[in-house]
């Protein structure tokens, strides 16, 4: 793929390909006629007049739809007031902007998920990260993510990816493609990197993921990979997600919303958190487990000795 635009123009690492741009541009122009490349005449005025006629002839109800369009597509988040629209209009809007999804029934409460932030904090509450190798050969398995809550912690499985020097350019193109307004996509790549950006804060987080087999780092050091995730995670459309209302203007893959809810619900279950903290503190390694059992046995023997000292006849 050769970019015809000025984004990378003049950079040292792209000068070798500059000479091919003129060749491919001339070939591109030669293959497409002028008629196919020129857009249709601007008919904005006709649509404006048509909208004015519709609003003025029928009734003022379309004003509500125009107001909803303005608040939806020009505001960073969507806020709906229950008393703003009539019930019939509200049902129409919800049918239009809430696509049915198999994960809808699993997203039940509008809770916040900012309690656990990175891999180290998830590890503290007993959530372990593992590689989900079910679709390892699928390079675009962005939604290959699962979370399982257990007695002594949880298990978060993430898709496996290899990161090399060419990976950032590929990922920028995929995310740019997802953000195109004419593409009917579920923002899986953007959701993946927004989610990973929330999990990765330091080099230690990258190291934990690399040791878990979640990705292979051919890009350089762990710090380089951490910088890549934080850079890709900035200014994504998924940052606009509102946990109160989901529409096409606030993009986030619903499966990632479900995973975030599951992690937050697991964290807010206090007895699971306490069990995980106790297990990680006293049974994290064989030596700590042996020390814990020895201390517990010594405490039991001390109690028995004290009991028979107080009650010698028994």
- 278 domain residue, yes or no: no
- 182 domain residue, yes or no: yes
pLDDT at 76 over 50: no
- 246 domain residue, yes or no: yes
Phi-psi region of 216 (alpha: psi -120 to 50; beta: other; left: phi over 0): beta
**pLDDT one-digit tens code per residue, 106-146:** 544 444 445 557 888 888 888 889 988 765 545 567 888 89
- 209 domain residue, yes or no: yes
Are residue 137 and residue 82 in the same domain, yes or no? no
- 12 domain residue, yes or no: yes
| Listed range (25-29, 53-57, 127-131, 269-273) with the worst mean pLDDT | 53-57
Are residue 205 and residue 243 in the same domain, yes or no? yes
Are residue 143 and residue 198 in the same domain, yes or no? yes
Are residue 63 and residue 167 in the same domain, yes or no? no
Of the pLDDT bands very low, low, confident and very high (cuts 50, 70, 90), residue 282 is low
E strand or H helix at 148, and its extent?
Answer: strand 146-150
Are residue 18 and residue 87 in the same domain, yes or no? no
Are residue 151 and residue 250 in the same domain, yes or no? yes
Are residue 18 and residue 109 in the same domain, yes or no? no
Are residue 248 and residue 110 in the same domain, yes or no? yes
Of the pLDDT bands very low, low, confident and very high (cuts 50, 70, 90), residue 310 is confident
Q: Which of 96-110, 217-231, 240-254 has the highest mean pLDDT?
A: 217-231
- 276 domain residue, yes or no: no
- 277 domain residue, yes or no: no
Are residue 204 and residue 250 in the same domain, yes or no? yes
Q: What percentage of residues in the chain have a pLDDT greater than 70?
A: 56
Query: What pLDDT score does 45 carry?
Result: 54
- Among residues 272, 270, 267, 275, which one has the least CA distance to residue 111? 267
Instruction: Supply the range of the domain harboring residue 290.
Output: 283-314
Are residue 111 and residue 236 in the same domain, yes or no? yes
Contacts of 16 (CB under 8 A, 6+ apart): none
Q: Average pLDDT of 76-97?
A: 44
- 159 domain residue, yes or no: yes
> pTM for this one?
0.54
Are residue 302 and residue 175 in the same domain, yes or no? no
How many domains does the chain divide into? 4
Are residue 266 and residue 296 in the same domain, yes or no? no
Token pair recorded at residue 58: 């029928």
- Among residues 168, 230, 181, 236, which one has the least CA distance to residue 203? 230
Last residue in a domain, options 97, 114, 137: 97
**pLDDT one-digit tens code per residue, 161-188:** 888 888 888 888 888 888 777 766 677 8
């Amino acid at each position: 793929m050769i970019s015809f635009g000025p984004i990378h123009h003049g950079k040292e690492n792209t000068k070798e390909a500059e000479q091919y741009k003129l060749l491919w541009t001339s070939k591109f122009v030669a293959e497409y006629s002028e008629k196919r490349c020129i857009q249709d005449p601007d008919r904005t005025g006709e649509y404006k007049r048509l909208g004015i006629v519709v609003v003025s002839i029928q009734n003022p109800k379309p004003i509500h739809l125009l107001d909803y369009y303005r608040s939806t597509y020009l505001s960073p988040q969507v806020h709906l007031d229950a008393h703003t629209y009539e019930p019939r209009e509200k049902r129409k809007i919800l049918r239009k902007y809430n696509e049915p999804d198999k994960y809808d029934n699993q997203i039940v409460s509008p809770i916040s998920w900012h309690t656990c932030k990175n891999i180290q904090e998830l590890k503290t509450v007993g959530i372990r990260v593992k590689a989900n190798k079910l679709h390892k050969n699928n390079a675009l398995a962005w939604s290959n993510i699962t979370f399982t809550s257990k007695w002594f912690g949880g298990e978060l499985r993430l898709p496996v990816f290899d990161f090399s020097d060419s990976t950032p350019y590929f990922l920028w193109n995929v995310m740019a493609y997802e953000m195109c307004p004419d593409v009917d996509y579920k923002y899986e790549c953007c959701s993946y990197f927004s989610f990973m950006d929330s999990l990765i804060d330091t080099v230690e987080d990258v190291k934990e993921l690399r040791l878990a087999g979640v990705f292979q780092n051919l890009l350089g050091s762990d710090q380089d990979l951490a910088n890549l995730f934080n850079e890709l995670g900035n200014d994504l459309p998924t940052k606009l997600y509102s946990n109160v209302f989901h529409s096409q203007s606030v993009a986030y893959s619903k499966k990632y919303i479900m995973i975030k809810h599951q992690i937050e619900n697991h964290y807010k279950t206090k007895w699971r958190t306490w069990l995980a903290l106790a297990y990680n503190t006293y049974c994290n390694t064989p030596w700590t487990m042996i020390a814990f059992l020895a201390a517990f046995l010594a405490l039991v023997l001390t109690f028995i000795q004290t009991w028979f000292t107080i009650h010698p006849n028994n």
